[in-house]
Amino acid sequence: MPDSSMPDSKPQTRSAMRRARRALSPAQQRLAAERLARIISCQPFFLRSRRLAMYLANDGEIDPDFLLRLAARAGKQIYLPVLHPFRHNRLLFQRHRPGEPLVGNRYGIAEPPLDASRLVPSWSLDAVFLPLVAFDRDGNRLGMGGGFYDRTFAGSRRAHHFRPLLIGLAHRLQELASVPAEPWDIPLDAIATDRRLFYFRPGI
């Protein structure tokens, strides 16, 4: 059931939800990651996708590593977000294979060392899996507050009139009864938890 007992303000909600997901034990995190991979890996959009962007889990986020490795074994191309070196709060997407080296960015989050020859335009990805702090069943989500994904895909949508599927990933405990939507939020096409998948865009 959605949790309606969270604080009203965004900073308080972020803090409470981050504490809740960090409180999950390693065994709980692993089980959630395995369940998430099973749910997503049989979906039609996943089976037909060739270029998938994922993230490296941090701060208690649900871990897409099982899904990443499954996708790589199936011959799909995997891309990870890299902080744009010149544009504020923008992401680049770089090809990555499991086991390749990573470095810490300015936030202490692991990412591939920047290699311009391995970057692709964000609009050329088939699906992007992104982390959430909180979400509701209308597809609204609360992020960390930096606006990285919103800014990155707002530009893609304006320039090319299309964008990849945007799939939010979260633990089921991150669901709230309501999350306020902002005008600049890029809508999600689906949200997947370790229990179920919510679709917000028909036909995917």
Q: What is the pLDDT of residues 63-79, one digit of tens each?
A: 999 999 999 999 999 99
* Number of domains into which the chain is organized: 1
What DSSP element (H or E) covers 22? helix 10-22
- Compare 7 and 167 and report the one with higher pLDDT: 167
107-131 pLDDT, tens digit per residue, is 888 999 999 999 999 989 999 999 9
CATH code, 157: 3.40.50.10420
Task: Using DSSP bridges, classify how beta strands 91-96 and 77-83 pair: parallel, antiparallel or unpaired.
Answer: antiparallel
Give yes or no for a contact between 26 and 186, defined as CB atoms under 8 angstroms apart. Answer: no
Q: Is residue 118 part of a domain?
A: yes
d(CA 56, CA 45): 21
Structure tokens, 28:
């709980």
pLDDT beyond 50 at 9: yes
Match 């080296």 to its residue by tokens: 101
Give the number of C-alpha atoms closer than 13 A to the C-alpha of residue 98, restricted to the C-beta side: 13
The residue range of the domain holding 150 is 10-199
Q: What is the pLDDT of residue 8?
A: 56
Q: What is the pLDDT of residue 161?
A: 55
pTM for the whole structure: 0.89
pLDDT beyond 90 at 7: no
Q: Is residue 4 part of a domain?
A: no
Q: Is residue 1 part of a domain?
A: no
Report the pLDDT averaged over residues 16-37. Answer: 96
